[in-house]
Amino acid sequence: MDIKLTSKMILEKEFKKNFKGYNVEEVDSFLDEIIQDYETFEKAVAQLREENRQLKEEIDSTPKRQPVASAAAGTTNFDILKRLSNLEKHVFGSKLYE
């Protein structure tokens, strides 16, 4: 991001005066509004940069999560269903399948 002006640069900018030039008070008033906006932008950018820095630190300090491998545990959905079926047969006996 390449910012060419700061609120201070705008405030200190002087224009050459000409007989048929712009109304000095009108230009000053408009520049005052621009300066206020720049100051607001500068504060917002500084806050966002600080928040960004903190979030990056938080990410770096958070341990990486390892994916849970259900196959490594030796259990699959089919195995679970088979065990449930055997338990039902044992608990309810043949009544379940009549």
Q: Provide CB contacts within 8 A for 77, sequence distance 6+.
A: none
Are 56 and 28 in contact, with CB atoms under 8 Å apart?
no
Per-residue pLDDT tens for 6-50?
888 888 887 777 777 888 888 888 888 888 888 898 899 999 999
For the beta carbon of residue 65, count every other beta carbon within 10 angstroms: 6
Q: What is the mean pLDDT of residues 61-76?
A: 68
**Stated length of the chain:** 98
The predicted model scores a pTM of 0.49
Q: From residue 25, how far is each of 6, 7, 14, 37 by CA, in Å?
A: 21, 18, 13, 19
